[in-house]
Amino acid sequence: MDQETKNTQENKITKKPINTNNNNDMIEMNDNIYDKPLEDVVLDKTIIALFAKNDNDKTTKQFLNTYELGINNLAVNDISIIIEFFENEKDLRNIIQKNLLPGKIFLGPIQSKYSKILNDYCEEKVIFFSYSSMSSLAKDCIYLLNFFPKNELTQLLLYLNEEAKVALLYPENEYGYLINSFIDDVIFESRAILVNRSSYKDDLSNVREAIKELGKYELRKYELNRQKQILSLKKDKKSKERLKKLEKFKTTSDYDFTHVLIADYGLNLLQVAPLLPYYDIDPNIVQFMGTGVIDDKTFFYEPSLQGAIFPGVSEERRINLINNYMEIYEDDFLRISTLPYDLIGLINFIYTKEYKFSDVIGLLNNPNKKFDGIDGSFYFKNNIIERDLEILKINNGHTVLVN
């Protein structure tokens, strides 16, 4: 993104000009504001949005546009959002320190490597809403907004009944390891049981072997051939009809599991999913499942994923926003862009209620307090956003609500 574009975006968001030097003078003249008790700290009405210059350009542009769209759609008044672009960690620290005031709210950064330093400033009575996906950073004044797989996995497995027997198929990468580490804790909260798991290399070089192992392909193939051999020796009509039926199959359908969770995403998912029915893990018998990463129309037309279920929110909730964004900015609305939109809604609520800093901290730290957003009801638990998700089923290019 060139400087002219950045300036244009900044003018869209900023409600009034901010003189940074005046802000610094104010800090020098009013050092005692840092000594105020927490309950007396008032929210600062100038919010700072932080973007790294090496952030993905499309994501940055979408987030800036979505901030603007949220401000206009939700009729946000009496606050200003100042956009700050930084080069590196040192530059980020300078920007934070320049704008450091009790009651200040910062939006961002997006990248986890920059969010790691935010905790250094929590004693200054500020709040950071970061988009980092690294849950370990969520503490003190840092609240994380992202699509967190543990929340999704919990909602998915809680949906299953006591008859469900789950197998996990996952890649040997950061995301796959994450799902594998979460499932042991989450499954104990569910009525379902975990009966098997299998992993494959990130380059998919051994994915076929992993799927065979998961479905006990060779064992089921051996069992079917054994049955065929026995029936071939029999001459009665019933046995011949049975043999004719079995000749259509490569293996028996005697699976150890009723559900298989495919913990992959992107192009890899489109390559892995079709291999399951190829090796006779039949989606008409076994329920295929995915996490929230499957909530993308790219996957809704894949034949092997028809009928697959995943945790998410019906597109109907955000279709008006999607169309509104396309109409104004002539660009497709990214799935992740609901995050900044819901954040603007939360900020609007906080400032409309004229909450003080301590009220906001109490609000964010109360998981029983839920906010209505584009992606459904959300709340913060241990400083991480969680959502009340629905269970959706893929059906011919669309999704239908299951629960």
Q: Where do the structural domains in the chain lie, given as residue ranges?
A: 3-144+319-374, 149-216+256-313+391-401, 219-253
28-73 per-position pLDDT tens digit: 334 455 566 777 899 999 999 999 999 999 999 999 999 999 999 9
Classify residue 182 as exposed, middle or buried by CB count within 10 Å of its CB (0-12, 13-18, 19+).
buried
Q: What span, in angstroms and rounded, lies between the C-alpha atoms of 397 and 252?
A: 30
Q: What is the pLDDT of residue 195?
A: 82
Q: What is the pLDDT of residue 125?
A: 96
Q: What span, in angstroms and rounded, lies between the C-alpha atoms of 328 and 315?
A: 19
Q: What is the pLDDT of residue 230?
A: 84
Residue 21 has pLDDT above 80, yes or no: no
Q: How many CB atoms lie within 10 A of CB 158?
A: 16
111-134 per-position pLDDT tens digit: 999 999 999 999 999 999 999 999
Q: What span, in angstroms and rounded, lies between the C-alpha atoms of 319 and 301?
A: 19
Instruction: Give the confidence band of 249 by pLDDT, cuts at 50, 70, 90.
Output: low
265 φ/ψ angles, rounded to the nearest 5 degrees = -155, 170
Which of 218-232, 240-254, 276-290 has the least mean pLDDT?
Answer: 240-254
113 φ/ψ angles, rounded to the nearest 5 degrees = -65, -25
Q: What span, in angstroms and rounded, lies between the C-alpha atoms of 148 and 375?
A: 13
300-356 per-position pLDDT tens digit: 999 999 999 999 999 999 999 999 999 999 999 999 999 999 999 999 999 999 999
Q: What is the pLDDT of residue 38?
A: 75
Q: What is the pLDDT of residue 219?
A: 65
Q: What is the pLDDT of residue 25?
A: 34
Instruction: Give the confidence band of 9 by pLDDT, cuts at 50, 70, 90.
Output: very low
70-83 per-position pLDDT tens digit: 999 999 988 999 99
278-305 per-position pLDDT tens digit: 998 999 999 999 999 999 999 999 999 9
User: The domain 3-144+319-374 is classified under which CATH number: 3.30.70.270, 1.10.1040.10, 3.40.30.10, 3.40.50.2300?
Assistant: 3.40.50.2300
Residue 35 in tokens: 């000594």
Average pLDDT, the chain: 89
Q: What is the pLDDT of residue 12?
A: 43
Residue 246 has pLDDT above 80, yes or no: no
Cβ-based neighbours of 61, under 8 Å, separated by 6 or more = 1, 5, 9
Q: Strands, DSSP E only, in 191-245?
A: 193-200
Residue 52 amino acid letter: A
165-218 per-position pLDDT tens digit: 899 999 999 999 999 999 988 988 889 988 889 999 999 999 999 999 888 877
Report the CATH fold assignment for 149-216+256-313+391-401. Answer: Rossmann fold (3.40.50)
**Matching fold, domains 3-144+319-374 and 149-216+256-313+391-401:** yes
Residue 15 has pLDDT above 70, yes or no: no
Q: Go through 59-95 and write b for each residue having 16 or more CB atoms within 10 A of its CB, e for each that does not.
A: bbbbbbbbbbbbbebeebeebbbbbbbbeeeeebeeb
